[in-house]
Amino acid sequence: MKGTILENAGRAQVLRAPFVHAVIDDALDPALFDTLKACRPTMAGQNGVSGMDGQVPAKGNVRIPISAKLFRDLEFYPTCWREFATRHIKADIYFAIRALFGDLWPENQPKLVEGQSRFGLLGADDFENHDVLCDARLELISPGGVSGSHRRAHLDAPNRLFSALLYFRNDDDDTKGGGLDLFAWKNGPVPKAKSAFELGDDAVRRVVTVPYQANRLVIFPNCINALHGAEPRDASIHERAYMFITAEMQNDWF
């Protein structure tokens, strides 16, 4: 799948603990990654998009998403980013990710059929005419004057099928932290876990951290055990940036 996050899926490390996930280093072709990195949109360059008004938030570790719909609709974004986002909302991305995990894919997820299930764009299409809505958004996390995280341990929305994060760490970013922490339940799922913004240390324990590294891809199928969160990072002058690719159903499935 040339030109996609799955171009080098053959080198994926598929891991089972603390929940099923895959890590692919140097996921994109280096030339494509360098092209995207060189013209990556920044917070200061948003010119009012997402309510930014071209200003970096004074509060650190604030998340600003640039959705695939925005990339599609706004011509001032670099062509390479518009094309990259559009490519990753296609049905074949979902089916290739599902194939990557094989028998480890959650059995209780909805059974989508290649060539029959209808895929659309999150924020533009509706579930009346589509079975799945996809997004490929650039997420920017603002610099912070103190150590912090924009979101600690949590579950993704229970109508989501998978999450994929491709990291765009700057070459000069020497900030400690900023990876993806993976957690496990201490005593099983807690009440309201699926709707909680964050889960406390009394409910979960950190098991492993996937470091924040340029061109590193982390993918996991969503499920009740897919607990994750942004690793706290030191005070920094650097944005944290990653492409977030996902697909969602109309109804919760777990």
Cβ distance 223 to 101 under 8 Å? no
**What pLDDT was estimated at residue 49?**
63
Measured between alpha carbons, how far is 135 from 133 in angstroms, rounded to an integer? Answer: 7
8 exposed, middle or buried (CB, 10 Å; 0-12, 13-18, 19+)?
Answer: middle
**What pLDDT was estimated at residue 51?**
52
Measured between alpha carbons, how far is 231 from 209 in angstroms, rounded to an integer? Answer: 7
pTM recorded for the entire structure: 0.95
**What pLDDT was estimated at residue 55?**
59
SS3 at position 28? coil
Pick the CATH number of 9-40+60-249 from 1.20.120, 3.30.70, 3.10.50, 2.60.120: 2.60.120
The pair of three-digit structure tokens given for residue 7, joined into one six-digit string: 């171009």
**What pLDDT was estimated at residue 44?**
83
Q: What residue spans define the domains of the chain?
A: 9-40+60-249
pLDDT along the chain (254 residues), means of 10: 97 98 98 98 75 61 96 96 98 98 97 97 98 98 93 98 98 97 98 97 98 98 98 96 98 97
Phi, psi dihedrals of residue 169, rounded to the nearest 5°: -70, 135
Measured between alpha carbons, how far is 195 from 198 in angstroms, rounded to an integer? Answer: 9
**What pLDDT was estimated at residue 53?**
54
**What pLDDT was estimated at residue 60?**
87
Cβ distance 158 to 250 under 8 Å? no
